[in-house]
Amino acid sequence: MNFDFTNEQKMVREAIRKFVENEIAPIAADIDARHEFPMENIKKLGQYGFFAIPFSTEYGGAGGDEISKAIVLEEIGKKCGATSGISSVHYLPTMLVDKYGTKDQKEKYLNKLITAEYIGAFALTEPSAGSDASNVQTTAVLDGDEYVLNGTKCFISNGGVADFYIVLAMTDKSKGIKGISAFIIEKDTPGFSIGKIEDKLGICASATAELIFENCKIPKENLLGKEGRGFILSMVGLDSGRIGMASQALGLAEGAMEETVKYLKEREQFGKPLIKMQGLQWYLAEMETKIEAARGLVYKAAYLKQTGKPYTKEAAIAKLFASEVAMFVTHKAVQMHGGYGFMKEYPVERMMRDAKITEIYEGTSEIMKIVIANQITR
């Protein structure tokens, strides 16, 4: 097995590291404190080609690979969990249009998503359809040449700032999950409005909102894929999104590790730097071991997706483990910073808050265990 990056992947890593250092890191604490969506940086990520990486060149993609995409989200996550999460969510609807969209849909939307002219969001979760994604209550009824949507979505990442939404709705309740379909909805569509904006524990610079559909009429050509195939489409999207969230979690763990090593080298107690204390070195060893294991799982899942092999189980494993590592490492980082770790002056406090969501969205850790178990027992 070859664990080396290709020259192209090394170039991506170098480019995104420079962008993060110059554009993302300097404002990460400020946008968290002010709960401000980093619109300018998201637009720049699109303009500089980072969202183009895994997509074909026909509609403006870079023809790159999934490991490069994981590298981008990982490197962003080292300094800003919110911006990494926003970016991962944006990749998801872009991927679904690329995979399932008609020629007209691709021509209309794909380049705008790749360049971040449009910000994307994926709307599945509802008050009664969280972990049970099959229990969608939002309805879509075909009326002539239009579908009419009614219902409410909640906890939608990028909600309220996105220009482009993929929305899951029930088109035939009698068919259960085979009656769920996916639709493209633009932000200014009549009958579509934004409800509650959530105030969150972490990733405070990201937007999370309620979506409301009241007799929202969209042309039938906005159906994404075939009618009744929305649930399958959403599961494919979530499999891919879980690699993205695992990459975000990995980056958060790596960033917290870097901050901790830096702090322990600078801080002295009992006449010597903290980095020389054996007990703290043991913590560092545990943290680094878990990070290395998480990195291998994330890159393996990305590799399987890139090569067209089944990756549902591996994506769930990567997401489960990397998110738990993010929580473990950030928790230890705060502890080893002592009182300073509890202060917003130091980034590890923000990193710990940001890490928690990686155990919840795109499928909780408990759901990941169900997915993994189903894959190995079927």
Residues with catalytic annotation?
Answer: 362
Among 212, 154, 185, 203, residue whose Cα is nearest residue 358: 203
Residue recorded with tokens 């979760």: 125
Write the DSSP string, 121-186: EEE--BTTBSS-TT----EEEEETTEEEEEEEEEEEETTTT-SEEEEEEES-GGGGGGGEEEEEEE
CB 340 within 8 A of CB 349: no
Residue recorded with tokens 């939608």: 156
Alpha-carbon distance 62 to 71, whole Å?
15
Size of the chain in residues: 378
Alpha-carbon distance 177 to 231, whole Å?
6
Q: 10 Å Cβ neighbour count for 14?
A: 11
